[in-house]
Amino acid sequence: MTGTTTSRVQTLGGPALFVLLWSTGFVGAKYGLPYAPPFTFLALRLAVAAALLAVLAAGLRSARMAAPGQYRRASLVGLLLHAGYLGGVFFAISRGVPAGVSAVIVSLQPVLTAVLAARVLGERPTARQWLGLVLGVAGVALVVGPGAVQAGSAEPLPLSGLLACLVALVSGTLGTVYQKRHGDGIPLIWGTAVQYAAAATALGAVALATEDVSIRWTGHFVAALVWLVLFLSIGAVLLLLLLLRRGSAAGVSSLYYLVPPATAVEAYLLFGERLSGLSLLGIGVTAVGVGLVVVPPRAGQSS
């Protein structure tokens, strides 16, 4: 009994830590984006993270890439999972799309991942998991919906920002499925460093072509950069890749459902943004939905 309980705690501990870390990304963006353009900010963040991971991998004498194909696969994951996903979200927020609206759009990723994984990876979600995916979408809508409607009523949402959210949604979905299918044989630390280097190069090129790359090095910007590099780009992403190796793409992707509710709670604690009754209900619905997807049923329980 004790062993089973310990196993369940370990199984849930990684996902819970990932959600906690990943949800702070909106807080970091809120602090950092006023002082640097989005692509410049992300390119710098990912370049620093790539350098730190390379130093870490060398210091730990981690396994290196074994073939050129691994560099290509890691680079493609980096372009999708980091340049496309993060670039789309940051650009959307910088263009005035409320974080809640961005979260609603991007939170559809688990549904797309489940559908795509069924076709590409042969992962077949059970009826229990499909119910969890539907509850996840409904819960996220309850959490961010009231704020999104209120923000959207003031003025029309920018089309460029909404398109950027869709780019983030598609890129994150494709990156998750591709990583699950082709990423298991790639050394974790060196592979992630290559992902970041490829994404930083692409984002840097876009920044040079479209932005004023000047940065205001304020205390808020430095704090946001340090947090996003150490706890998001290194801590959360390495944890995400580990979770993908241990679980299904659809199951791991469903954790994104918990990010908007967690961000809403953090916004309340840090910025005094109050949660409505619908938002509190949505947090509960989302938690139940994610539980149905990622927590395995007990022995003898029908799935």
Structure tokens at 257: 């459902």
Cβ-contact 83, 202 below 8 angstroms: yes
CA distance 141 to 120: 28
pLDDT band at 147 (very low <50, low <70, confident <90, very high): low
pLDDT band at 200 (very low <50, low <70, confident <90, very high): very high
User: Hey, what amino acid is at 266?
Assistant: E
For the residues 241-256, what does the mean pLDDT come to?
Answer: 70
What is the total residue count of the chain? 303
**Looking at residue 9, what is its pLDDT?**
40
For the residues 236-241, what does the mean pLDDT come to?
Answer: 81
Q: Among positive and negative, which fits the CA dihedral 167, 170, 173, 175?
A: negative
pTM of the shown model: 0.75
pLDDT band at 144 (very low <50, low <70, confident <90, very high): low
Q: Is the pLDDT of residue 228 over 90?
A: yes
The mean pLDDT value of the chain amounts to 79
Cβ-contact 216, 36 below 8 angstroms: yes
Domain ranges of the chain: 10-294
CA distance 49 to 86: 14
Q: Is the pLDDT of residue 58 over 70?
A: yes
**Looking at residue 193, what is its pLDDT?**
92
CA distance 13 to 33: 31
pLDDT band at 3 (very low <50, low <70, confident <90, very high): very low
pLDDT digits (tens, 9 = 90+) for 67-114: 778 888 899 999 998 999 999 988 988 887 776 667 767 777 777 777
pLDDT band at 7 (very low <50, low <70, confident <90, very high): very low
Residue of 50 and 68 predicted with greater confidence: 50
Cβ-contact 201, 81 below 8 angstroms: no
**Looking at residue 12, what is its pLDDT?**
56
CA distance 162 to 234: 28
Highest mean pLDDT among 60-69, 101-110, 203-212, 262-271: 203-212
- The answer to which of 30-34, 77-81, 189-193, 261-265 has the lowest mean pLDDT is 261-265
